[in-house]
Chain A
Amino acid sequence: MLAALLIVFREVFEAGLIVGIVMAVTAGIHSRGWWIGGGVAAGVLGACVVALFAASLSAAFEGFGQELFNAAILLVAVAMLTWHNVWMARHGRELAAEMRAAGQAVQAGAKSLAGLAVVVAVAVLREGFEVVLFLYGVAAASDPGSGLAIFAGGAIGLALGVVTCLLTYLGLLTIPQRHLFAVTTVMLAFLAAGMAAQAVAFLEAANALTALGSILWDSSWLLSDRSMLGRALHTLVGYSDQPTALQFLVYLATLAVTFALLKLFGPSRLPGPPQSDGVTQGRSARPA
């Protein structure tokens, strides 16, 4: 039972972190519950479908179907995260103003929410796939006594994953409202960079990428990326204890592109004094 709890929790934990962050990012947007809920539901459904075709998926592409599939959906998530960040940098201000004014932001918010719903779905699908296969195996093993205990363990693991999600969300909400946007923007950028590096790792595992494949460093003696803290950092900022040169480069490139786009499209949204409406305030605040 404990083994089942740990297996399920380990998978759900990573998805929980991501869903928690997305919930904090969308805090205050009217229809977000539907989008995030829809993303989770789509992810669970997707995990079941992928698990159903797991054998064919593994056999595809010379036995590297799983890796290529993971890389593909991770890259979709990276694109959605980057797009959301840039979109929010452009429209976040109007969005906030509209929300305050009339609550008409639903329509505008829906656009960026769709992107984040995809991110949620991808996170749930990737982690849920293994849980589904694991629990299906338990059910197929036809040992009713231990099967029940394992399902109980799985259920507790799932519940702990939901707790992780809520703690992430509530923890982020303790950040003052005026800083929350800047903090979550940076978090999403690192999340995207980590996912991009992970996609590269999958492509390398599938032999699809072989350039710059030497390992840059080995910090597993300090923090293994298989420990709980290592896994958390792996999800949040893309920590890897033995990254290849290519993974590291793609990681840096994703961060650079995101921050360049943010600078290009949303100068007034970056941390620092607001420019347009800050002029009058600045003048009046300046001592004569």
Chain B
Amino acid sequence: MIFGEIMRMRAPALMVAAILTAGGDVARAQEAVVEITVKDHRFEPSEPRAPANRAFTIRIRNLDKTAMEFESVKLRVEKVVAPNSEAVIKVRALSPGRYDFFDDFRKQTRGTLVVE
């Protein structure tokens, strides 16, 4: 936990570094973040939106007391999220469309990322 705190304190410096290394690309500097929350084994929102043709990140907050595995075949993502914690996933630039995702530990927990 202490480790996590230290990392969080370093966050601003790393963000500045990330912006500086973005090569002056303004669009990349303001990188979009898609926030998804998992509660009672449901994705909220269940149809989050993301910009097309540019990289973005997904931040998943798992508020349940069980671990979940955020998975999407089309997004090529597979990441375990521990109970009561959050995870960040980097996503490449995508063409517009619907990208299904689910919790691999509970397949009925599903959602769709709408890229437009």
A residues at B contact (CB < 8 Å): 3, 7, 51, 54-66, 129-130, 133-134, 136-138, 140-141, 205-207, 224, 226, 242
Contacts and interface: CB of A to CB of B under 8 A. Distances in A.
12 contacts: A54-B67, A54-B85, A55-B85, A56-B1, A57-B82, A58-B82, A59-B8, A137-B65, A137-B66, A137-B105, A141-B65, A224-B73
Contacts, number: 77
Contacts of B14: 62
Contacts of B68: 137
A127 to B, nearest CB: 12
Determine the main DSSP class of A at the interface with B: helix
A84 to B, nearest CB: 29
A146 to B, nearest CB: 11
Closest 6 CB pairs of A and B: A63-B88, A137-B66, A54-B82, A55-B85, A59-B4, A133-B67
Contact of A140 (B83, B86, B87, B88): B83
A111 B107 CA distance: 45
Contacts of A242: 76
A66 B73 CA distance: 20
Interface in B40-81: 59, 65-69, 73, 76, 79-81
A58 B79 CA distance: 10
Given A59-B8, A205-B90, A140 B65 contact: yes
Contact-residue size bin, chain B (C-beta under 8 Å from the other chain):
20 to 34
Contacts of B89: 205
A133 B107 contact: no
Nearest to B1: A56
Given A54-B67, A55-B85, A130-B69, 20 more contacts: A7-B104, A7-B105, A54-B80, A54-B82, A55-B84, A56-B3, A56-B4, A58-B85, A58-B86, A59-B7, A62-B14, A63-B59, A63-B88, A65-B7, A66-B87, A130-B80, A134-B67, A134-B105, A137-B66, A206-B90
B70 to A, nearest CB: 11
A7 B103 CA distance: 12
A66 to B, nearest CB: 7
B81 A58 contact: yes
B107 A60 contact: no
B85 A226 contact: no
Contacts of A130: 69, 80
B11 A62 contact: yes
A134 B80 CA distance: 9
A60 B67 contact: no
A45 to B, nearest CB: 18
